Chains A and B, each alone.
Chain A
Amino acid sequence: MNDHVSESIQSTIDSNDVVLFMKGSKEMPQCGFSNAVVNALSYLDVKFEDVDVLQNEEIREGIKVFSDWPTIPQLYVKGEFIGGCDIVKEMFETGELSQLFTEKQIAHTKKD
């Protein structure tokens, strides 16, 4: 991965509390797995930055190396890699996702 790709990813996750690297945009996800994470975040009313990897081949491949994670979507919260679709969905179902946003002091709506 080129340095500028890794720097660009780092700068995105440094300047946004919640970042979702995904296929498509949050308004129009292009993949069911990305859509599932968007839905979980939207349900909790979390503000997040979406990065559409389909618009940038370097980011699409670079994020996999950056996170050492082979699939997309990928969720970052305050610079920390949280997981992909399966992990986020599981955390959402157990209430851990909402708890994480509380711990990280990120505005969201707690729903039971």
Chain B
Amino acid sequence: MPMEQKEIESLIKVSIPDAEVTITDLAGDNNHFSAHITSSLFDGKTRIQQHKMVYDALAGRMGGILHALSLKTTVKKD
């Protein structure tokens, strides 16, 4: 069963508490999403590290039941 948008968002927020998450359902099929995540916790990290933090938050679902999640991460500035 595909993951719900809300489920993705809440999993990310558990690991990255200050995350602002914007999820777009790209194909309207509840299966191809793009997520833009902004967090101060990304500060000082490379893009690879930032994306890994999100993948870790999704705890193994990425590449499995969640095939198509395109990511963009931005550092939150105060």
Contact = CB atoms under 8 A, between A and B. Distances in A.
Interface of A: 33, 64, 68-72, 81-87, 90-91
Q: Is the interface of B mostly helix, strand, loop or mixed?
A: mixed
A68 B47 contact: no
Contacts of A33: 68, 70
Chain B interface category by residue count: 10 to 19
A86 B63 contact: no
Contacts, number: 32
Contact of A86 (B52, B60, B64, B70): B70
Interface of B: 47-48, 51-52, 55, 60, 62-64, 68, 70-72
A82 B51 CA distance: 12
10 contacts: A33-B68, A33-B70, A70-B62, A83-B47, A83-B51, A84-B51, A85-B70, A87-B47, A87-B51, A90-B47
A80 to B, nearest CB: 10
